[in-house]
Amino acid sequence: MSNSKVVDVHTHVYLPRYMDLLRSRAEVPRVILDDLGQDRLVILPGEDKESSTKRGRPIGDEYWSMKRKLEFMDLHGIDVSVISLANPWLDFLPTTQETFEFATALNQDLSTVCTSSDAGGRLFAFGVLPTLSPSASVAEVHRIAQLPHLRGVIMGTIGAGRGLDDPELIPLFQAIADAGLTIFLHPHHGVGNEHFGGYGHSLSLALGFPFETTVAVSRLILSGIFDRIPNLRILLAHSGGTLPFLAGRLDSCVAHDPAVAEKLQHPPTYYLKRLYYDAVIYHDTGLKATVDLVGADRIMFGTDNPFFPPLKGEKHVTRWMSVDKNIEAVKGVPGEEKVWNGIMGENAVRILNLK
């Protein structure tokens, strides 16, 4: 895909400082050692209830090593990555000074990694916030804004504990917008897990995660936040969950509920069109729906590394199917080289100012 830059905007790392915390914990989220001495990451709700062999997922240094991240980038032709801490971020920690200082330390770690000579200018980052305390988060936003390679913050959907439409979060959203930072909105809990039967984590990740994003963003829109803060910039994980597909239904159901509709200046789709979307959806059908709704110039390639590694072969030298599926999906978007180059990286360079 020509000489233009390939940028991965959805790529995680469990920083060593965060790994230490996960290893020290007796409850989810935690890292445990299995009978074979293999680290297992146990982070999703209910994962601890499974039998010990199935608990969590096996992990290696691709989850915390920046050397591995750069190798992964080289293997897949990725020039630049915007790294973020993976779920569940700080959402399980108490609102104490210690947690606030932990957030500051993690953001400083991200900055150090991005500015290191090993990174060679190829890394940027989304920082992390103690969102359960909106006021501490505002203070952290001001610090993040001073870090040269940080471009925004990754955020889950719980906010201060009551969802993202909580009025208590308005000053935080305002501070993020004022600082010119982008929110990378990412699911963790899943919606509907109780309906998914006994199929491991497959349906929670495939369906529950995108439903969580769908619900959180719909509530955010209906709260009127984008009328209040028009320059609030949000990048949605997994191509916006199911929002591109359900946008018409959202518009219609809101229009038929005047008490809800009258609180908004526009139909929900108007606001959806102003958001940004990653391309982590693995099929061109879903990606085309997203392009159709918001235009190809608001969509950015991602990998979700280090999740979804190859199940066979040496993961440090074998190309990852999960990555190739997302590249194929981009190539399946009708258009020309300019459109694909935009999604693969040029949009991210422009939108996130990665020069």
Site residues (vs ligand URA, CB under 6 A): 12, 43-44, 86-87, 205, 304, 307
Pairing of β 39-42 and β 276-278: unpaired
Selection from ligand URA, Zn ion, none that 205 binds (CB < 5 to 8 A by kind) is ligand URA
Is 309 buried (19+), middle (13-18) or exposed (0-12) by CB count in 10 A? buried
| Residue number with CB closer to ligand URA (44 or 250) | 44
- Is 349 in contact with 8 (CB distance < 8 Å)? no
| Residue number with CB closer to ligand URA (151 or 189) | 189
| Residue number with CB closer to ligand URA (87 or 131) | 87
Is 35 buried (19+), middle (13-18) or exposed (0-12) by CB count in 10 A? exposed
Selection from Zn ion, ligand URA, none that 166 binds (CB < 5 to 8 A by kind) is none
* Nearest approach, Cβ of residue 10 and Zn ion (Å): 6
* Nearest approach, Cβ of residue 170 and Zn ion (Å): 26
Pairing of β 39-42 and β 30-33: antiparallel
| Residue number with CB closer to ligand URA (134 or 302) | 302
Please state whether the peptide bond connecting residue 306 to the residue before it is cis, i.e. omega within 30 degrees of 0: yes
Structure tokens at 181: 């930072």
Please state whether the peptide bond connecting residue 94 to the residue before it is cis, i.e. omega within 30 degrees of 0: no
Task: Tell me which stretch binds Zn ion (CB under 5 A): 17-25, 55-63, 296-304, 327-335.
Answer: 296-304
| Residue number with CB closer to ligand URA (182 or 303) | 303
* Nearest approach, Cβ of residue 133 and ligand URA (Å): 23
Look at residue 33 and give its three-state secondary structure: strand
* Nearest approach, Cβ of residue 6 and Zn ion (Å): 18
As a whole number of angstroms, the distance between CA 260 and CA 251 comes to 11
- Is 240 in contact with 280 (CB distance < 8 Å)? no
- Which residue of 91, 109, 284, 304 would you call a contact of Zn ion, by CB under 5 A? 304
Task: Tell me which stretch binds Zn ion (CB under 5 A): 22-30, 131-139, 204-212, 302-310.
Answer: 302-310
| Residue number with CB closer to ligand URA (106 or 250) | 106
For residue 168, the 8-state DSSP code is G
* Nearest approach, Cβ of residue 223 and ligand URA (Å): 25
* Nearest approach, Cβ of residue 263 and ligand URA (Å): 33
**CA 279, 340, 120, 146 torsion: positive or negative?**
negative
Q: Which residues bind Zn ion (CB under 5 A)?
A: 304
